[in-house]
Amino acid sequence: MDQFPLLSTLIFLPLIGAVVALFFPRGNELWLRVWALFVSVVVFLFSVPLWFSFDAAEVGFQFVEVLPWVPEVGIDYRVGVDGISLLLVLLTTFLMPIVILSTWNSIEQRVKEFVSVALLLETAMIGTFLALDLFLFFIFWELMLVPMYFLIGVWGGPRRIYAAVKFFLYTMAGSALMLVAMMALYFLTSVPTASGHTFNLLEILRIPVPSDLQVWLFAAFAIAFAIKVPMFPFHTWLPDAHVEAPTSGSVILAAVLLKMGTYGFLRFCLPLFPQAVVAAVPLIALLSVIGIVYGALVAAMQRDVKKLVAYSSVSHLGLVMLGIFALTPIALQGSLLQMVNHGISTGALFLLVGMLYERAHTRIIDDFGGVAKLMPVFAAFFLLVMFSSVGLPGTNGFVGEFLILLGTFEAAALNLQIYAVVAASGVILGAVYLLWTYQRVMQGPVREHVGTNGHGLRLTDINAREIAVLVPLAIIILWIGFYPKPFLDRTAASLNAVGQRVAAESGRPVLAGPR
């Protein structure tokens, strides 16, 4: 069927935009920004048909494109989208224009390089979500590191080089093991072509991976993904990266890059190694719960708002991981939705923190006071985003967290009730530190001049551009909060299939019976 190569357009349009940006003459900062915004908006517009023409009832991959690439070793260019990747791709294309708009004034140095790097990153991210060939997936997966490394290292804070290198090496070390596991899977396949083996994910899904091998391969994949998530105890790169990265880098990191880890679990670990997954549930659930509580406690102790948000990510993603490994359809759906939610709310939180920092040149909570009086619009947005992050009913966060906790509690066969209880208390801790932060920053006596020595800059409320950055996020927060059905509908079929596959192949009744 000769259809328009929609997915390839999504992947490579930003790359073309990045290359074109390199040829802009120097001194055209405004045009470079306009160009980047234009490209990212066009990419987003191309991704909109995906949402509408996606067939929610279809379990398999849609919009599939296949081209032979390295036939000698069985590598294809193969992309496709299903219920698992759909929302994440849309999240990426939706956030990129917002990120670029948010950097309008904050990135003033080396705009050309920034624009190219940001667009290159978009290519890598979308490619990672859409790749259906392990080799292709790995290419995009590693390709993501390079622009992110530059983003942190060039435009970041004082310890940016340390943070950038740490980020790079941590992730690369994880993926080295994953690469070996991919090769092992490759040699398990057998196809009637010249190469005899293939990296095609669909073929690999068809092979039964021997039980004794599952443990090893699962471990290799899981470490790579756990570092990316990041799960406790692999999380130490995250606060460094977040604190040093520029706002745009933090937003992309939190909103999309961290999802690569959880996406990897859903896409590869669960369907490929069901027995190992079931065996690993107690361990992963334990680490997740530790992450939830530990992340929340450490976040509560932070003086730097950005670091606080960074640790809150550890906590939130712990909840997502718990939901994934509860393995019930409801928990899986909650996890996927919560991945999107976390992208929206934490992305928005980083944007808000960035706006505050641009004005005050400090992120230390104690330096602020009564900001709500000086910046009422800002405070309103902050409140909404915070509610979403806390999981207040009526916002997106509530739906995701509720589904995860419900699904986890329901996972009777895996005895996860106690974890659900602890996780729920972690959610309450989240409310504690965020509300406390709001109280200290927004309320109390007004400190008109913020700064370390008391005569810093004057705070002014956010301008129209910044409102334009935040409004789309606010709309999504409320949309998912009040009417999540269109989102859940589109993910249901694929996630149910994954859940059933795990149940069937692991031989364990992981699904709760009908009541």
Among 54, 150, 350, 419, binds another protein (CB under 8 A): 150
- Sole residue written with tokens 């729920």: 424
Q: Which stretch binds another protein (CB under 8 A): 53-61, 162-170, 336-344, 478-486?
A: 162-170
By CB atoms closer than 10 A (0-12, 13-18, 19+), residue 142 is: middle
Q: Which stretch binds another protein (CB under 8 A): 161-169, 257-265, 423-431, 463-471?
A: 161-169
Among 114, 129, 149, 325, binds another protein (CB under 8 A): 149
Q: Quick check: 237 binds another protein (CB under 8 A)?
A: no
First to last CA, the chain: 44
Q: Quick check: 161 binds another protein (CB under 8 A)?
A: yes
Q: Quick check: 187 binds another protein (CB under 8 A)?
A: yes
Question: 30 vs 169, which CB is nearer to another protein?
Answer: 169
- Report the alpha-carbon distance of residue 7 to residue 13 in Å, rounded: 10
Q: Quick check: 7 binds another protein (CB under 8 A)?
A: no
Question: 159 vs 458, which CB is nearer to another protein?
Answer: 159
What are residue 457's phi and psi, to 5 degrees? Answer: -95, 160
Q: Quick check: 215 binds another protein (CB under 8 A)?
A: no
- Report the alpha-carbon distance of residue 125 to residue 369 in Å, rounded: 38
Min dist CB 266 to another protein, Å, is: 23
Q: Quick check: 72 binds another protein (CB under 8 A)?
A: yes
By CB atoms closer than 10 A (0-12, 13-18, 19+), residue 256 is: buried
At 334, list the tokens: 């909650």
Among 177, 293, 324, 469, binds another protein (CB under 8 A): 177
Q: Quick check: 186 binds another protein (CB under 8 A)?
A: yes
Among 14, 17, 80, 153, binds another protein (CB under 8 A): 153
- Report the alpha-carbon distance of residue 153 to residue 171 in Å, rounded: 16
- Report the alpha-carbon distance of residue 161 to residue 154 in Å, rounded: 8
Min dist CB 42 to another protein, Å, is: 23
- Report the alpha-carbon distance of residue 24 to residue 3 in Å, rounded: 33
Question: 188 vs 424, which CB is nearer to another protein?
Answer: 188
Q: Quick check: 219 binds another protein (CB under 8 A)?
A: no
Question: 1 vs 194, which CB is nearer to another protein?
Answer: 194
Indicate the residue type of 171: T
Among 30, 48, 66, 173, binds another protein (CB under 8 A): 173
- Report the alpha-carbon distance of residue 318 to residue 315 in Å, rounded: 5
| Residue 145 neighbours by CB under 8 Å, 6+ apart | 167, 168, 171, 172
Min dist CB 391 to another protein, Å, is: 38
Q: Quick check: 238 binds another protein (CB under 8 A)?
A: no
- Report the alpha-carbon distance of residue 400 to residue 336 in Å, rounded: 8
Pick from 163, 183, 161, 178: nearest CA to 260? 178
Q: Which stretch binds another protein (CB under 8 A): 177-185, 321-329, 385-393, 507-515?
A: 177-185
Q: How many residues bind another protein (CB under 8 A)?
A: 34
What kind and span of H or E run contains 81? strand 75-81
Question: 148 vs 385, which CB is nearer to another protein?
Answer: 148
Of 123-142, binders to another protein (CB under 8 A) are: 135, 138-139, 142
Q: Quick check: 67 binds another protein (CB under 8 A)?
A: no
Among 70, 191, 380, 418, binds another protein (CB under 8 A): 70
Min dist CB 111 to another protein, Å, is: 13
Question: 160 vs 307, which CB is nearer to another protein?
Answer: 160
DSSP letters, 456-515, are: -EEP----HHHHHHHHHHHHHHHHHHH--HHHHHHHHHHHHHHHHHHHHHHTS--SPPP-
Do residues 482 and 474 make contact, with C-beta atoms less than 8 angstroms apart?
no
Q: Quick check: 221 binds another protein (CB under 8 A)?
A: no
Query: Which residues of this protein are in contact with another protein, per CB under 8 A?
Result: 69-73, 110, 113, 135, 138-139, 142-143, 145-146, 149-150, 153-154, 160-161, 164-165, 168-169, 172-173, 176-177, 179-180, 183-184, 186-187
